[in-house]
Amino acid sequence: MTETGDYRHAKCYANLHGGCATKISGEHYVSHNLIKLYTFDDPTVTILHDNGYGIPRPVKPKEFVANVLCRDHNSLLSPADDAALAFATFLRRIALSYLNGNGTWGEDETIEISGDDFQRWVLKLLATHAAASAFAAGGKRVVSPIPDDAVHLLLDKAAWPRTWGLCVAKEPGNSYLKYDPFSDIATVLTDWWSAHPFFATSDNALCGGVVELAGVGFGLSLYNQGRGLPEFDNPDNPLKGSIQRPAYMEWVLNNVRKRINFSWQDNSQIFGVTYIMD
Ligand SMILES: [Zn+2]
């Protein structure tokens, strides 16, 4: 990723280092390529936020935008959108073939996705909503500052601290992190994404959240998750029973595996997670 120039667009939340375009991009709340995937690229389809304060009434996909990133920063982040599209395309196709057990599961399949880009997509989705004050808590709109650290991570200006970042469900019993993309057809048709933020108690700053895509929940933290501390296993901790930055996620039915390998720049992660569906 490179940025050129010193210009900082006042409405671009990624403007800390300059490198802004003079135009705001019409950044979608959730990647436009994902909207097209799930609406069969039908421009007459409408979309809305079912909670929060983003877009409360149905609009056409091209109007489902937040206007909080300049054109150049939006396009710098397009590899993140591509990673999310690859993830969703894979799981959605399998779910449509499997039809919750009424269709076919098929053969072994594996795809490779950049974990760094996918992690960035989760952060971008949360940050875009926060920048547009689109989140709600207790029935009220939340004005949530985006910490500088979040922008540094988004633009790859800093390495993720080991104790921060993406995680997925490792054990059953955590209702916050879903891991079955195949048993609920709604995750293919209507409920294919959602975003639930974590806010800092002092100033409501964005400090992470849970983002669902294609029936899979991803936790993200911009703080030390506290793994190893007794509080981590508190049932109210949304990240309980999770694994950080998985090397892979795979779903196995009758010994046939559908696997997503995540590559990570620092090659640090060797462990992944296997969900047995029998
Ligand atoms: Zn910008």
Instruction: Give the alpha-carbon dihedral of 68, 71, 77, 79, to 10 degrees.
Output: 140
* Residue 26 maps to a domain: no
Give residue 267 CA to ligand 1 midpoint distance, Å: 30
Q: How far apart are CA 41 and CA 59, in angstroms?
A: 14
40: confidence class by pLDDT, cuts 50, 70, 90? confident
Question: Residue 172 above 80 pLDDT?
Answer: no
Give residue 276 CA to ligand 1 midpoint distance, Å: 43
Mean pLDDT, rounded, for 3-29: 91
Of 34-43, 91-100, 115-124, least confident by mean pLDDT is: 34-43
The pLDDT tens digits for 61-103 are 888 999 999 999 999 999 999 999 999 999 999 999 999 999 9
Give residue 3 CA to ligand 1 midpoint distance, Å: 9
Mean pLDDT, rounded, for 248-275: 93
Give residue 76 CA to ligand 1 midpoint distance, Å: 9
* Residue 208 maps to a domain: yes
* Residue 134 maps to a domain: no
Looking at residue 211, its pLDDT comes to 97
* Residue 219 maps to a domain: yes
* Segments in 22-114 forming alpha helices (H): 32-38, 71-76, 78-98
Token pair for 227: 């793994």
Looking at residue 88, its pLDDT comes to 97
Rounded percentage of the chain residues whose pLDDT exceeds 70: 99
2: confidence class by pLDDT, cuts 50, 70, 90? low
Mean pLDDT, rounded, for 183-197: 89
Q: How far apart are CA 276 and CA 182, in angstroms?
A: 12
Give residue 22 CA to ligand 1 midpoint distance, Å: 8
Give residue 257 CA to ligand 1 midpoint distance, Å: 41
Give residue 155 CA to ligand 1 midpoint distance, Å: 10
Looking at residue 116, its pLDDT comes to 97
Question: Residue 119 above 90 pLDDT?
Answer: yes
Question: Residue 3 above 80 pLDDT?
Answer: no
Give residue 16 CA to ligand 1 midpoint distance, Å: 8
* Residue 71 maps to a domain: no
Mean pLDDT, rounded, for 213-225: 96
Q: How far apart are CA 110 and CA 101, in angstroms?
A: 20
Mean pLDDT, rounded, for 223-248: 93
* Residue 223 maps to a domain: yes
Q: Going by C-beta distance under 8 Å and a sequence separation of 6 or more, which residues neighbour residue 156? A: 1, 116, 120
Structurally, how many domains does the chain consist of?
A: 1
* Residue 13 maps to a domain: no
Neighbours of 177 (CB within 10 A): 22
Q: What is the DSSP letter of 220?
A: E
Beta bridge partners of 109: 258
Give residue 187 CA to ligand 1 midpoint distance, Å: 33
Give residue 148 CA to ligand 1 midpoint distance, Å: 14
- 3-state DSSP assignment of residue 45: coil
Give residue 75 CA to ligand 1 midpoint distance, Å: 10
Give residue 31 CA to ligand 1 midpoint distance, Å: 17
Mean pLDDT, rounded, for 13-34: 92
Would you say 260 and 113 are in contact if contact means Cβ atoms under 8 Å apart?
A: yes
- Domain with 87, as residue range(s), is 78-126+157-276
Q: How far apart are CA 155 and CA 151, in angstroms?
A: 6
Give residue 152 CA to ligand 1 midpoint distance, Å: 13
Question: Residue 5 above 90 pLDDT?
Answer: no
Give residue 73 CA to ligand 1 midpoint distance, Å: 5
1: confidence class by pLDDT, cuts 50, 70, 90? low
* Residue 191 maps to a domain: yes
